[in-house]
Structure 1
């Protein structure tokens, strides 16, 4: 995975949103080392690695960020279902394909995420080169 810069404001809460196998954990692992020192030494950023596909889950994150007066960002893993299914099939923790399909259908739009209160929404397709299937 080749990352393009993802500007995260100081103190931002960033949610990674997508179906299992879409590349959220891989993305988080790639940026983890870059953010780890800053996060540990100054507690400036939080990346929430979960599907975050249900609005009520995102609402809880948004509420906590508002409470602490932190900016909120979302990274929408807009990965096509066939790519997600292929990546999922090659994972150590395989999620049943029907579950992946059902969760993939829950992907919100960027407009929906903005309407929910995310200050900035990034689409993974715009910030990384195509995600490879994990080997």
Structure 2
């Protein structure tokens, strides 16, 4: 296993399309309290993680939780697609505000792999939506240019079910 070094109090953004393995990776390698999930926030505000009409409120909540955790110096793992370029600056600015290091983990699996994984999930996202998100995948160079302190490719990290904590 290749360890994922995370500095104390870091903001870690998981970046990838639906079905790319972000949530599975997060559950395997982080404490539940360290993960701030857009799906979970959507379920908190609408009782349904699939209710896209609740997305704005869900992200308000996600940002509030992330900000409070960063303020306290707690590891904060953002489990959302984080694929749209305008979605990432807020994360970077809040981490910088609280003087916390930033880590991006890019889930860059081929579209066919992501589509197959998506089809096997309990909550299947429409194929066209997955394809659209996949087309937004940034490069590691782009993420570095945006200002992320560290960028990891998830394909280089172990995601085996019995792997010890990556930290």
TM category (shorter chain) comes to 0.7 to 0.9
The answer (yes or no) to whether the contact 1:10–1:45 under 8 Å persists in 2 is: yes
Aligned to 2:103: 73
Aligned to 1:109: 139
Pairing partner for 1:6 from 4, 7, 16:
4
The answer (yes or no) to whether the contact 2:73–2:100 under 8 Å persists in 1 is: no
Residue 93, structure 1, aligned to residue 91, structure 2 = no
Aligned to 2:90: 60
Q: Normalising by structure 1, what TM-score?
A: 0.85
Between Structure 1 and Structure 2, how many residues are aligned?
Answer: 125
Cα offsets for 1:48-105 (capped at 9, x unmatched):
0000001111101001001001000100001111010001001111000011001000
Residue 50, structure 1, aligned to residue 80, structure 2 = yes
Segments of 5+ residues of structure 2 without an aligned counterpart are: 35-68, 162-167
SS for the counterpart of 1:73 is strand
CA RMSD of aligned residues (A): 2.1
The answer (yes or no) to whether the contact 1:18–1:76 under 8 Å persists in 2 is: yes
Q: Normalising by structure 2, what TM-score?
A: 0.69
Segments of 5+ residues of structure 1 without an aligned counterpart are: none
* Alpha-carbon shift at residue 126 of structure 1 (Å): 1.0
Deviant stretches of 4+, over 4 Å: none
Measured in 2, the distance between the counterparts of 1:130 and 1:60 equals: 31
